[in-house]
A and B are shown apart, each in its own frame.
With several copies, the nearest count.
Chain A
Amino acid sequence: MNELKIADRTFSSRLLVDTGKFSSNAAMVASMEGSGCEIVTVALRRVDIDNPKDSILSHIDRTKYLLLPNTSGARDAEEAVRLARLARAAGCEPWVKLEVTPDPYYLLPDPIETLKAAQILVKEGFVVLPYINADPVLAKHLQEAGTATVMPLGAPIGTNRGVRTRDQIAIIIEQATVPVIVDAGLGAPSHAAEAMEMGADAVLVNTALAVARDPGKMGEAFRKGVEAGREAYLAGLGEQREKAESSSPLTGFLRD
């Protein structure tokens, strides 16, 4: 079956989109539309009292997109849990993309605090999608803690480098019993396709869309890249080989 199932919901798109860094809400919406995504993440921040901006929610059609609040900004489990609860209080469904990034520079996830927060949030009934380093053993711990997915990074956020953690991701995919969503670092449709060809269940993209000259068209490009990779995975890719192999029959009339 070609639907993506996370917790009790199914999705026909295997591409998730983060809503950060777009030049405008229009660009963001165009990219979401183009991408065909069904899940978009949002962050929680303080209202600027003196100059309140309109909420991003007024730009996202919640009948079309599942809002997935993230805990970006959280530096430890406690902050992440606090953000998740606030998001739920805001009327979102109890889904959360769990991000715990103590290092404000590289924004790499904290394995210890992420697991701790996941254990708390799962108990509180959240559907938890944790963002993690490409660590197969950590992925197993989170799975055992009851997370709905694991979201290993392909490369550090915003680097556009692609699936640089290929070996580890392959092991995670082989061992996981929950959907594996490759998150962060996918900078081109070929990167998304590669992750899907490896057997990832889905990918999450943001920077590559937000910085594109044409975010709408880039959304489409990623949609096709994800579908291409998924279909190739299902159609059965050939092995890589050391030796060349002709694609023409070599016996011929040229030399008797």
Chain B
Amino acid sequence: MLKERQAMRITINGQPRETTRSTVAAILQEINLSPERVVVELNRSILPRDLFAETSLSEGDALEIVQFVGGG
């Protein structure tokens, strides 16, 4: 409720973004990415998948969300 009101500014893959979601899991859900298919760096350190749900975001956090693509 309250939370909903507090929006914060973070960066995802180099793009600034406003969000009200408080966890990495929630962010992924917001942008329709299933956690299994991506890897996430939070402020340049790798975030293990099983911590997505409990890891909350703060103003100014930088997320890198990457996935596998074809390439040699």
Contact = CB atoms under 8 A, between A and B. Distances in A.
Establish whether A and B are touching in the complex (CB under 8 Å).
yes
Interface of A: 18-22, 25, 28, 41-47, 49, 52-58, 67, 69-70, 72, 85-87, 89-91, 97, 157, 204, 206, 246-249, 253, 256
Given A20-B72, A56-B70, A70-B71, A47 B13 contact: yes
Nearest to A46: B13
A42 B32 contact: no
B65 to A, nearest CB: 5
Interface residues of B, number: 24
Contacts, number: 109
Contacts of A57: 37, 68
A36 B47 CA distance: 36
Given A86-B39, A86-B41, A256-B14, A47 B66 contact: yes
Contacts of A54: 37
A69 B12 CA distance: 23
A252 to B, nearest CB: 9
Interface in B46-70: 46, 48-49, 64-70
Given A52-B31, A57-B37, A69 B67 contact: no
